[in-house]
Every structure is written in structure tokens, then in C-alpha cells.
Amino acid sequence: MGKAKLEKAIQDKARVNEKLFVPYMMAGDGGLDRLEETIYFLQNCGAAAIEVGIPFSDPVADGPIIQEAGIRALKHGTTLATVIDKLATFKDRRSIPIVIMTYLNPILAYGIDRFTKDCLQAGVDGVIIPDIPMEEEGIIASSLQEQNIAFIRLAAMTSSEERLIELAKRSEGFLYAVAVKGTTGERETHDTKVHDYLKLLKKNSSIPVLAGFGVSNAEQAQQLSKACDGVIVGSKIVQLLHEGKLKDIQQLINGSIQSNVQKVR
């Protein structure tokens, strides 16, 4: 369970030369009763893991699409506690690893030790906290470690090479490589230096490196995956879920994974 389950699931896919696809969804967008159904759908599409976002009033890392989804979820009364409670109700019926993405304030309000213990009981395998810097992560890292929950770090293109190497060494589960300079959201293109940045992380990481932010189609996923192990897609998935375009999601995931598998055969 926990970190071991996440790392095994990701590494098993990597061993068969399959590029990894981790979709992000906003918990509570459309109502929390849709969470279980959506997770099963994404699981069946071939996702390596699922990043479950917690709505927050001041999401500094999120672009407009995810911000709007968060507002819709908050209007449904979604909180960190209600999401964890909901995940616990079907933890034994899902096989895919679950990663929670939340900001630090909701965790502090929840209580750090209570949060990590409840995550374990709910079958949460990893946690992403985008607004906690490496220098301050000690306030929660040990508690996550005690519960065997992966602490997934984010790396930024604007960081020094020394800092990126340190983040690569510290991260668990997978390393989240932010592939743009800015917030989440669709981009027409990525910085020309992004491949060098991803290759640096890949060289110094003992776990898979996934590129996120600004990935909105299979072609972008394929290009980024040439320098790392796969991608995380948020805004596009959130938009398509909101619009009910499930077939488009399936095509996006299949196109990102299968095209890469074919290239390495």
C-alpha cells in the first residue's frame, strides 16, 4: 500500500516501455458522488495513477480552467475532509494508485498527523503540495514517511541545477517536472529548453520523471516523453470531464501511451 503501491504500478508500466500518463481531476466538480465513477473510468483508460485535486480558495499554481473547476467543487461543499472520507468508501474496489494534490493551508487546518493517518486509511498513495518549498517540507515529510505515503516533489525550470538535482534525489513515487514557467493550462508550445531540463532531472532521478503543466494533446505528450517517462495532464482532462467528452479523454490517453509504445518496439 501507499508509496510502495505507487512506485510498483509506475515502474511496472515503465518496464514494458510504456510511457506513463497521469490524469488530474478536480474532486467535487459536478458533485463528490461522481468521484468513484470518474476514477474507475480513468483507471480503465490506462492511466498509471490519478491525481485528485482538492479545491482551494487561493490556488497559486492553477490556471483558469482548474480554478473554475475548484470554484464549482467548493459550491458543492467539497473539502479535504469530505474527499478523504469519500476515497475511503471504495479503497478496496480500486486498483489504481491515488495521489492527492492539495495546498498546505487545508492540511494545517486538518492537522498534519491526522491528515497523513486518514490518507493511509483512505488508500491514498501519494501527496503533492505545490506551495511548500524544499526548505520547509520537514513539517510534513516525516509524518508522510511514517504512514508510507509518497511525498511527490515538484521541480521548476526556473530553479538552479543544484536545486533540481537535490529535488530529484528527494522525490518519491515520481518526480513532477513542471514543464512551463507559470501556472497550469493549455499551451501551444513548450520552451525550447524543456528537453534539456527534463533530461537533467531524468539523469539524476532514481524514480520516473513526469512532465506536467501545459500538456493538452497526444502530440505534446509524445514530444515531452522523449526526454522523460511520461506526462501529467490536468486542465485538458478537467475541461473534457466537465463537458462530458469521455471518448476524447480515452483517445488522449490512448494516443499518448500507445504511440510511444509503438516507437520503442
Residue-level pLDDT at 183: 43
Q: Quick one: cell of 257?
A: 501511451
The torsion angles phi and psi of 21, rounded to 5 degrees, stand at -130, 120
Q: Quick one: cell of 12?
A: 511496472
Catalytic one of 7, 18, 29, 51: 51
Per-residue pLDDT tens digits of the chain, which is 265 residues long: 688 899 888 888 877 767 899 999 999 999 999 999 999 999 999 999 999 999 998 777 677 899 999 999 999 999 999 999 999 999 999 999 999 999 999 999 999 999 999 999 999 999 999 999 999 999 999 999 999 999 999 999 999 999 999 999 998 999 999 987 544 444 444 456 888 999 999 999 999 999 998 888 888 888 899 999 999 999 999 999 999 999 999 999 998 886 444 444 3
Residue-level pLDDT at 192: 64
- Beta carbons within 8 Å of 40's beta carbon, 6+ residues apart: 94
pLDDT tens per residue across span 69-108: 999 999 999 999 999 999 999 999 999 999 999 999 999 9
Alpha carbon distance 153, 137 (integer Å): 10
161 has catalytic annotation: no
**Amino acid letter for position 67:** Q
Query: Which structural domains are found in the chain, ordered by start?
Result: 3-258 (3.20.20.70)
Catalytic one of 7, 29, 62, 229: 62
Alpha carbon distance 130, 140 (integer Å): 13
pLDDT tens per residue across span 189-201: 445 688 899 999 9
CB-CB neighbours of 161 under 10 Å? 10
Instruction: Give the position of cell 510511444.
Output: 260
12 has catalytic annotation: no
The H or E element spanning position 89 is helix 80-89
Residue-level pLDDT at 81: 98
Strands (E), 171-263: 175-178, 209-212, 230-233
Helix (H, G, I), strand (E, B) or coil at 128: strand
How many Cα neighbours within 13 Å face the side chain of 251? Answer: 9
Quick one: what percent of the chain has pLDDT higher than 90?
73
Residue-level pLDDT at 258: 66
Residue-level pLDDT at 181: 59
